[in-house]
């Protein structure tokens, strides 16, 4: 049953912020930060996960700012919330890859502020990337099913120790993956068009590879950690993926859109790769997606960011971005 949580409802002199939907396990972390908004804005928070655009517009009536959790603000919904049925002037997005959810160029043109959150999930996303590697290497889920069904024959596994891990991208998440993988005894190499010298200086055991094709061809496991930008969208092509060696692993906990449309499915259909995927071009993943039937692929429903520490940081940053909007600051402004 949907609840409506409101802060300072009597303060009608304050502007209104609306959170039209939310992931259930984020409710308590958000409530823990309600006090941040005191004397700045009223908040109306709906505690379900509706994605119905008509209902979202109805809920956001009168909102000066909208907190965006899990819903794509497509062109039609954007127009309704900012011009025809609403007057929202700020979207505070509860994530990093806001370009996948809101048309930033249009918002910039209209003078609508868009904020995101930053570095909130470095550990959480890195840990899921490692978990996907472990699942592909040691098949824990399959083994659990075997035992529960009365089988004891097991599955032959792969050691990660001694394997070469290629990281495409070396920001906060990539660096955290590297630290964990180093503890496993893996060899680590990195390709990134914008590698920071200080990051590599702090990790002298990590090799910098000049080309992404070279990294794909020489890695036992490739893990993607690029942000989604105009520059990176579709930047990993089928030709790049074709350099992956048979038997190697591909992990994506970044964004599906950094891979050219159809390129991943085309490469995986050959059946000689393992893959762990947490992100997809269309979410939820359609029932007819070929990814569902490719052997050797582990699928998770875009949950890398969903962990206690990440939630604490994310919810705090969203609230601080809202306060900053109303007080004339620039906290976490994207456009």
Active site residues: 255, 283, 302
Determine contact, residues 332/95, Cβ cutoff 8 Å: no
Neighbours of 283 (CB within 10 A): 13
In 3D, which of 39, 144, 19, 158 has the Cα closest to residue 91?
19
- Expressed in percent and rounded to 5, the helix, strand and coil fractions of the chain are 40, 15, 45
For the record, the structure tokens of 50 come out as 């509706």
Going by C-alpha positions, the residue among 234, 225, 103, 249 that lies closest to residue 169 is: 225
Question: Nearest to residue 334, comparing CAs of 195, 196, 235, 227?
Answer: 227
Q: Is residue 110 helix, strand or coil?
A: helix
Can you tell me which residue has the tokens 């004339």? 328
The candidate with the shortest Cα–Cα distance to 214, out of 206, 222, 205, 224, is 222
142 backbone dihedrals φ, ψ, rounded to 5°: -65, -40
The separation between CA 125 and the C-alpha centre of its own chain, rounded to angstroms, equals 8
Buried b (16+ CB within 10 A) or exposed e, 252-274: bbbbbbbbbeebbeebbeeeebb
Distance CA 45, CA 293 (A): 39
At residue 143, the 3 state secondary structure works out as helix
Reduced to 3 states (helix: H, G, I; strand: E, B; else coil), residue 219 is: coil
């Amino acid at each position: 049953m949907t609840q409506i949580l409101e802060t300072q409802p009597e303060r009608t002199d304050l502007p209104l912020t609306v959170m039209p939907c939310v992931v259930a396990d984020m409710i308590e972390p958000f409530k823990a930060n309600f006090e941040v908004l005191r004397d700045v804005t009223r908040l109306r928070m709906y505690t379900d996960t509706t994605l119905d655009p008509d209902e979202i517009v109805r809920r956001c009536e009168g909102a000066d700012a909208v907190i965006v959790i899990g819903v794509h603000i497509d062109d039609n919904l954007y127009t309704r919330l900012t011009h025809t049925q609403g007057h929202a002037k700020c979207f505070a997005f509860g994530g990093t890859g806001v370009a996948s959810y809101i048309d930033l160029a249009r918002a910039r043109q209209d003078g609508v502020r868009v904020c995101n959150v930053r570095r909130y999930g470095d550990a959480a996303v890195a840990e899921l990337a490692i978990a996907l590697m472990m699942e592909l290497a040691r098949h824990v889920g399959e083994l659990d099913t075997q035992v529960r069904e009365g089988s004891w024959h097991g599955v032959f596994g792969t050691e990660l120790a001694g394997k070469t891990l290629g990281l495409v991208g070396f920001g906060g998440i990539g660096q955290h993956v590297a630290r964990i993988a180093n503890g496993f005894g893996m060899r680590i190499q990195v390709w990134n068009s914008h590698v920071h010298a200080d990051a590599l200086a702090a990790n002298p055991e990590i090799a910098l590879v000049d080309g992404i094709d070279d990294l794909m061809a020489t890695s036992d496991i490739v893990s993607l950690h690029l942000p989604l930008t105009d520059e990176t969208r579709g930047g990993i092509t089928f030709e790049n993926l074709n350099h992956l060696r048979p038997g190697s692993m591909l992990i994506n906990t970044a964004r599906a859109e950094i891979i050219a449309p159809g390129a991943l499915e085309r490469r995986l259909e050959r059946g000689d790769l393992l893959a762990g995927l947490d992100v997809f071009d269309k979410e939820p993943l359609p029932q007819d997606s070929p990814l569902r039937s490719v052997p050797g692929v582990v699928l998770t429903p875009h949950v890398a960011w969903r962990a206690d520490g990440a939630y604490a940081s994310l919810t705090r940053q969203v609230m601080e971005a809202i306060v900053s909007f109303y007080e004339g600051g620039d906290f976490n402004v994207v456009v």
